[in-house]
Amino acid sequence: MRKSQERSAGTMISTVCFLSLSLVFFLHASELYDAGYTAKAVAIGVCALACFAAGLRFFIQKTVLSMLRFWR
């Protein structure tokens, strides 16, 4: 396995935390939206998307590198 594909326990823990936090933010945003706080719901929703993207950072990196190799 190449060094770039090795992942430590710390990186896997942070990935799980990012994905869990994105779920919590999404649920909170949906509650805020139902309560009529649209602006707050959108702000928390953006945070949920950012955490979700952070949780998928290795998948995103792998996909982008594959696309770059394909286009070369």
Average pLDDT over residues 35-58: 96
Q: What confidence tier does 7 reach under pLDDT thresholds 50, 70, 90?
A: confident
Closest alpha carbon to 47 in 21, 10, 16, 66 = 21
Distance CA 56, CA 72 (A): 25
Is residue 2 pLDDT above 70, yes or no?
Answer: no
CB 21 within 8 A of CB 44: no
Helices (H), 1-72: 9-35, 38-55, 57-71
pLDDT at 4 (0 to 100): 59
